[in-house]
Amino acid sequence: MSEIKDTITIPNIHLKSLPDDFLYHLGYSSSDNLTEIFGDVKFVVIGGSVNRMKSFAHYLSSVTGDEAIDLTKTDRYIIYRIGQTLSLSHGIGIPSMSILLHEVIKLLSYIKATDTVIIRMGTSGGIDVPPGSLVITDRSYNAYLEEKQELAVLGRRVIRPTKLDSELARQIRASNTDTEYEAILGGTMSTDDFYEGQARADGVLCEFSESEKFDFLRRLKELGIRNIEMECTFLAATASLCNLRCACVCVTLLDRLKGDQVLISPSEYKEFNERPQRLIARFICQKLELVGEKLHKVPEMLGETTETEKRKCADKDGSISRPSKRRREDVTS
């Protein structure tokens, strides 16, 4: 008896009538040889920052031995393939991420991907957790503190439940071996903006008092919400409707019960940003059964490089990405 695999479900029946589906923001078409280009994708890792996802691609390459292949075709989002993993940027907030998610899920369906997992990594504001902690989302709340995603469609409110795979979240958390910071399961609130929607009093507009702000933040804590970001609800609602397992792993840059502004040093910011990358890389390695020596190298974000390699691999912000190794055989072969 053959093994039953999870296949992607596309609820939109209108796609069947398209002779060719052009994924405008990715630069690919359903008539392209997508299977040859993208291969057998098992992990899709997305994050807001271009440099973060480029860094993750090269980092994962250094761990697995798979070449980090740049498949970017537009100036909207970057796409890297590292073996059976895709690393993509999605910009800031649900509007930008939703565009990427629609087109990536369609792409996955066109290559007939099975048992694929989507993981978002990012930064967030913590709720009563130390800066630098990792929060793996187990419940996804909107800004009204409901486990729902709301979208305006044809002038009407469309409300969809935000469903996350609790077993996947536990598996990712269990992959953590770092002891210098916490990796916790907790609720995540997603908002439509960085300032007022997140109860910040340091934007150009603020019509609430400090006491009202802290009353609200303490309410989040009581609900089990441990961080605030701007994307998780759409990811949870959309992935579940398409029969895709998904997770959200964010590092906290500050404890919002102690302030509004991110005041950590550049070196702390760099280290904090690397933590979700290390955890997700460990999880992927364990799933691909790349254990032993390779897995123990995961905490080393960047190895030594020559001056020439540093110049070639320097990101726009000056950070260095380790050059990719020669590609080893695909794990599917």
Report mean pLDDT in 10-residue bins for the chain, 333 residues. Answer: 72 96 98 97 98 97 96 98 98 98 98 97 98 98 98 98 97 93 97 98 98 98 98 98 97 98 97 97 93 47 38 38 34 30
**Where do the H-state alpha helices sit in the chain?**
34-38, 50-64, 93-110, 166-174, 210-222, 232-241, 266-287, 293-296, 307-313
Tell me what pLDDT residue 289 has: 87
Largest CA distance in the chain: 64
Q: Read out DSSP for 138-197? A: EEEE-TTS-SEEEEEETTEEEEEE----HHHHHHHHHT----SS-EEEEEEEE-S-SSGG
SS3 240: helix
Helix (H), strand (E) counts: the chain: 9, 13
* β-pair type (85-89, 156-161): unpaired
Could you give the angle at the alpha carbon of 216 between the alpha carbons of 255 and 160, nearest 5°? 100
Tell me what pLDDT residue 290 has: 75
Q: How many CB atoms lie within 10 A of CB 187?
A: 21
Residue 29: in which H helix or E strand, if any? strand 28-29
Tokens in use for 297?
């190298």
Tell me what pLDDT residue 206 has: 98
Q: How many CB atoms lie within 10 A of CB 194?
A: 15
Tell me what pLDDT residue 4 has: 54
Query: Distance between CA atoms of 313 and 307, rounded to whole angstroms?
Result: 10
Amino acid type, 114: T
Tell me what pLDDT residue 304 has: 36
Tell me what pLDDT residue 3 has: 53
Tell me what pLDDT residue 291 has: 54
Tell me what pLDDT residue 317 has: 39
Tell me what pLDDT residue 316 has: 37
Place of tokens 């979700």: 276
Tell me what pLDDT residue 6 has: 83
